[in-house]
């Protein structure tokens, strides 16, 4: 088993009047040569956007983009013709492929938007852009793995990569084992809330650990916890 520990306090920071972002991997002005990516996972940004503020139209290409809304809401518009409000409990996925532009603005005038945005390299370049958005009930991840994004789709959102976004809300003292999907897969475990032990590594709120060359994750909740596992190809 190999691993990389990413403490929450060592993430990159971008704090503005309307935006408070923490970067798990090198992004924008923040660069750490030891944190460029984890396998196919390129970006994990932890964002708080002030009411009525946000990102204007900007481009993306050749990336799988996943937004997980933690609280509040976000108004989305894109060059594919989609206009939608992403609310707490919902997950948005875009295959940027050959190229898209989009905007993300907090549609509330009083409440902050809190979200995680993650980028994963796709399995091929210049794919046809696509969009999906779904609500995932928190009750379905109570001491159970809830698959948000997978290569197969179905009850989860389909991604153009062998990646699995899996979330679990754990009761203190409970255990969750997670089986990886192949020899060359790795898992980036990000603790949204609470604290857990992952294959012997202790993680608190917003800490993360990347683990590879292992078949299974063993996660034990030290207290009530909300855990996101992002499984990705390592090569």
The predicted-structure confidence for 68-77, as pLDDT tens digits, reads as follows 999 999 999 9
DSSP result, 25-65:
S-BTTB--TT-S-BTTEEEEEEEEE-TT-EEEEEEE-S-EE
Q: How many Cβ atoms from other residues are within 10 Å of residue 115's Cβ?
A: 24
User: Could you check whether 11-135 and 138-233 share the same CATH topology?
Assistant: yes
Reported as a pLDDT band with limits 50, 70 and 90, residue 206 is very high
- Bridge partners of 105? 54, 75
Residues 188 and 232: beta-carbon distance below 8 Å: yes
Give CA–CA dist 52/118, Å, rounded: 22
Amino acid 154: pLDDT: 96
Termini Cα distance of the chain: 16
Question: What is the model's pTM?
Answer: 0.97
| Residue carrying structure tokens 């993680």 | 203
For 231, the enclosing helix (H) or strand (E) is strand 225-233
pLDDT digits (tens, 9 = 90+) for 159-183: 999 999 999 999 999 999 999 999 9
By DSSP bridging, strand 64-71 and strand 113-120 are antiparallel
Alpha-carbon torsion 81, 119, 28, 234, what sign?
A: negative
How would CATH label the architecture of 11-135?
A: Sandwich (2.60)
Of 24, 25, 28, the residue nearest 8 (C-alpha): 24
Domain residue limits, the chain = 11-135, 138-233
Phi, psi of 8 (to 5 degrees): -60, -40
Residue 72 near residue 112, CB atoms below 8 Å:
yes
Q: Report the distance separating Cα 168 and Cα 140, nearest Å.
A: 9
pLDDT tens by residue, 126-163: 999 999 999 999 999 999 999 999 999 999 999 999 99
Please name the fold of domain 138-233: Jelly Rolls (2.60.120)
């Amino acid at each position: 088993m190999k691993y990389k520990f990413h403490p929450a306090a060592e993430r990159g920071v971008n704090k503005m009047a309307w935006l408070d972002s923490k970067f798990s991997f090198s992004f924008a002005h923040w660069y750490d040569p030891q944190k460029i990516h984890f396998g196919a996972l390129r970006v994990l940004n932890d964002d708080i956007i002030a009411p009525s503020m946000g990102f204007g139209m900007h481009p993306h290409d050749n990336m799988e983009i996943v937004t997980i809304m933690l609280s509040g809401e976000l108004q989305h518009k894109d060059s594919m013709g989609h206009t939608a409000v992403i609310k707490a409990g919902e997950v948005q996925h875009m295959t940027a492929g050959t190229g898209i532009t989009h905007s993300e603005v907090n549609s509330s005038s009083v409440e902050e938007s809190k979200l995680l945005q993650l980028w994963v390299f796709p399995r091929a370049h210049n794919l046809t852009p696509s969009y999906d958005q779904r609500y995932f009930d928190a009750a379905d991840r109570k001491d159970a793995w809830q698959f948000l994004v997978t290569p197969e789709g179905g009850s989860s959102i389909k991604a153009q990569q062998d990646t699995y976004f899996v979330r679990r809300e754990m009761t203190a003292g409970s255990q969750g084992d997670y089986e990886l999907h192949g020899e060359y897969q790795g898992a980036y475990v990000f603790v949204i809330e609470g604290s857990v032990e992952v294959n012997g590594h202790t993680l608190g709120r917003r800490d993360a650990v990347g683990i590879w060359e292992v078949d299974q994750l063993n996660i034990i909740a030290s207290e009530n916890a909300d855990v996101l596992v992002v499984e990705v190809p390592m090569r």
